[in-house]
Amino acid sequence: MKMATRLLTTLLACMTIGTAAIHADNLLEKPQAEVSETPTETPTHRLTIGGYGEAVASRMFYSNNYKRYTNAELYKGDKGFGQFDLPHVVLYLGYDFGKGWSLGTEIEFEHGGTESAVEIEEEETGEYESEVERGGEVALEQFWLQKSFSHAVNLRMGHMVVPVGGTNNAHMPTEFFTVYRPEGENTIMPCTWHETGVSLWGNVGKWRYEAMFIAGLDADRFGNKGWIHDGAGSPYEFKMATSYAGALRIDNRSIKGLRLSVSGYLGNSANNTLNATGKYNGLHGTVAIGAVDFLYNDHNIVARGNFDYGHLSNSLEITTANMSTRADSPFPKTNIGEAAIALGIEAGYDIFSQVARLHADGQRLYLFGRYDYYDSMYKTVKNMTDEKMWQRQKVTAGVNYYPIPQIVIKGEYSYRILSSQYNNEPTVSLGICYSGLFHI
């Protein structure tokens, strides 16, 4: 723990109050070849249309009863359940105005979006009735304007992805092997994490940097299962920005086929909510995250890994304040860990590389394995219960078939391992995914 704390402190010392995260592989970032050498150069392509999406079928061989952790023994023999899902369907529109100015927008439909309507019920004396036909979320994930001065200096302003950690940096379904996004980072941090602010980024030789100045997280939305995961959202029509934050990402590609990256986040959260006066008096709720990740892609092998460690100050005081919130408020009202951790590594080998005809045709078939360890209550303060069900491991094995680079068909078997007093959670999943950009 002391070593992890020292590493986190060293990383965050490199950050300044106005820095923000690097996003090396962002779908919305224009390919390097399209960044004008001078602000007056005519762009090769003005309009870019694209997106990505996933459709998934899963069978879970464990109970989905909401009491399966509090009374685990009662649900040990349950037969399980199945589900279909559309985890993410994203539409992107970008435009290059010329003279270094460009626009990026991205709208995301999670789990099928939402469908609701108001109807007059003929069987209920003509009453108006509101019905929800489909759950899910719709979010404006990105909306920014950018001024590019050179490859090394680009200023982006608006709503952007915060690429802290490996998954936020590379979150398209063609950029990870598992059917769903890697579970550790996707649990303890917002994913995909997007905020409004200012970003400065660029490429210098084998290095890429990005620094962002953004609004802080909302401590009202922290919880036991996901730590700060929901803190980037807002239940209101605006995002509170009483406290601010910075993030930083640096990537290096000096070694052929290898990207090494470090990223971090630092910001206060206790006052970034309505009615903070009195509730959070004297509290900062500082969130500090340090992360390292890598990607290796060479010799028909793809390997990825990440390690993330996060710390929250005043976790007990924030927990106490949140539990006293009105019963009708849309907040978790649970214990919040002082620290969270996520470790993940995956590797796959393209067996079609050994079949000359398929390799020449550009088809790929990866056999892969993955291991995750994550705990959203990795460390708790002295007077708080450490809820062991949130200490999780997951082992996954499967295949990824790429008929063309933009499309992947996935299949996997995963086994989530919990503490001994709970039931482990095996799952079989199939998915079909795409990602692509079209320049006009």
Q: 89-129, pLDDT tens digit by residue?
A: 999 999 999 999 999 999 998 887 765 655 554 444 555 55
- What is the pLDDT, as a whole number, of residue 11? 39
Task: Give the model confidence (pLDDT) of 184-210 as tens digits.
Answer: 999 999 998 999 999 999 999 999 999
Q: Is residue 282 part of a domain?
A: yes
- What is the pLDDT, as a whole number, of residue 41? 60
Q: What is the mean pLDDT of the chain?
A: 86
Q: Is residue 126 part of a domain?
A: no
Tokens 């079209």: give the residue: 438
In this model, does residue 162 exceed pLDDT 50? Answer: yes
Task: Give the model confidence (pLDDT) of 29-53 as tens digits.
Answer: 443 333 444 455 666 679 999 999 9
How do 425-439 and 407-417 pair as beta strands?
A: antiparallel
| Residue 11: count of CB within 10 angstroms of its CB | 21
What is the pLDDT averaged over residues 279-299?
92
Q: Is 186 in a helix, a strand, or coil?
A: helix
CATH label of the domain that carries residue 32: 2.40.160
Q: Decide: 374 and 186 in contact? Cβ < 8 Å.
A: no
In this model, does residue 20 exceed pLDDT 70? Answer: no
Mean pLDDT lowest among 99-103, 254-258, 267-271, 330-334: 330-334
Domain range for 276: 2-42+94-113+133-378
Q: Is residue 107 part of a domain?
A: yes
Task: Give the model confidence (pLDDT) of 221-251 as tens digits.
Answer: 899 999 999 999 877 778 888 889 999 999 9
Whole-angstrom distance, CA of residue 312 vs CA of residue 229: 13
Task: Write down how long the chain is.
Answer: 440
Q: Is residue 11 part of a domain?
A: yes
In this model, does residue 302 exceed pLDDT 60? Answer: yes
DSSP string, 322-369: HHTS-TTSSS--S---SEEEEEEEEEEEEGGGGSHHHHHTT-EEEEEE
Of 15 and 211, the one with more pLDDT: 211
Q: Decide: 305 and 291 in contact? Cβ < 8 Å.
A: no
CA-closest candidate to residue 173, choices 440, 439, 433: 433
- What is the pLDDT, as a whole number, of residue 44? 67
Global pTM reads 0.85
What is the pLDDT averaged over residues 400-404?
97
In this model, does residue 268 exceed pLDDT 90? Answer: yes
What is the pLDDT averaged over residues 348-377?
96
What is the pLDDT averaged over residues 389-411?
97
DSSP string, 217-235: P-GGG-BTTTBTGGGG--S
Q: Is residue 308 part of a domain?
A: yes
What is the pLDDT averaged over residues 148-152?
96
CA-closest candidate to residue 228, choices 171, 282, 286, 271: 286
- What is the pLDDT, as a whole number, of residue 134? 58
In this model, does residue 2 exceed pLDDT 80? Answer: no
- What is the pLDDT, as a whole number, of residue 283? 86
Q: Is residue 252 part of a domain?
A: yes
Q: Considering its fold, how many domains does the chain have in total?
A: 1
In this model, does residue 132 exceed pLDDT 90? Answer: no
Give the sign of the dihedral formed by CA 345, CA 351, CA 353, CA 354: positive
Whole-angstrom distance, CA of residue 251 vs CA of residue 261: 4
Q: Is residue 392 part of a domain?
A: no
Q: Is residue 230 part of a domain?
A: yes
